Amino acid sequence: MAFSTPAVKLGDHLRPAIASVISLTLLTGCIFPLVLFALGRLLYPGQAAGSLITRNGVAIGSRLIGQDFTRPEYFHPRPSAAGTGYDGTSSGGTNLGPSNPKLIEDVRQLAEDYRRRNGLPPDASVPIDAATRSGSGLDPHISVANAALQVPRVARARGVSEDAVRRLLAEHTEGRQLGFMGSPRVAVLDLNLALDQAAPSTAR
């Protein structure tokens, strides 16, 4: 039967065990990343470096990593639980459970802040992404409804028409990828950069 094979010597199998771990670690932990590294540098240098955006030679952010905005002339991102907010070295969510009173209180507070900043009446409905924190704390996107509610504030702060801002917003709204994956969204940093270019702020 299966276990009756005689004379199993531990030493016979120890050599392949040690040799295999060493050689396969070299293959998968060293050679493989190097090959990938070379191909990545060659084919997608920008993405491999982290999709950084530079303006006038200075890196001003990453296309993929959310950035905090609080001034009225910019679109605001979602609230963040990464460090003290959008800390790129400390990703994470709140992990507050739905039954946790702290979550209810936080969301009430965040929704109130959102209404106050955007001049909405106290019982106005707030898009949920504007009052909840993402899983990474670095979510670069907001929902389309959230962005639309911020348009009047941004237009007023920049002294431009709401229609002009809305046009920019429409240009920077992404649909579902390949038509069915994920959900429609607005990349906040991209949109704000486009705003600075199209309608330089007068408020500063």
Residue closer to other proteins (CB basis): 25 or 163: 25
Q: How far apart are CA 23 and CA 33, in angstroms?
A: 15
User: Of residues 154, 169, 193, 199, which one binds other proteins by CB under 8 A?
Assistant: 193
* Distance in Å, CB of 101 to other proteins, minimum: 10
Binders of other proteins among residues 173 to 192 (CB under 8 A) are 176-178, 180-183, 185, 189, 192
Residue closer to other proteins (CB basis): 104 or 170: 104
Residue closer to other proteins (CB basis): 95 or 163: 95
Contact 108, 114 (CB under 8 A): no
Contact 155, 162 (CB under 8 A): yes
Binders of other proteins among residues 50 to 89 (CB under 8 A) are 50-52, 58-71, 74, 78, 82, 86-89
* Distance in Å, CB of 109 to other proteins, minimum: 10
Binders of other proteins among residues 105 to 144 (CB under 8 A) are 107-108, 111, 123-129, 131-143
User: Of residues 157, 164, 196, 198, which one binds other proteins by CB under 8 A?
Assistant: 196
Strand order across the 173-174 sheet:
141-142, 185-187, 173-174
Contact 196, 74 (CB under 8 A): no
148: number of Cβ within 10 Å: 16
CA end-to-end distance (rounded Å), the chain: 84
* Distance in Å, CB of 161 to other proteins, minimum: 22
Options 39-47, 150-158, 165-173: segment touching other proteins (CB under 8 A): 39-47
What is the pairing mode between strands 58-62 and 185-187?
unpaired
* Distance in Å, CB of 84 to other proteins, minimum: 11
Q: Report in angstroms the alpha-carbon separations of 19 from 8, 9, 23, 34.
A: 19, 17, 6, 21
Residue closer to other proteins (CB basis): 36 or 163: 36
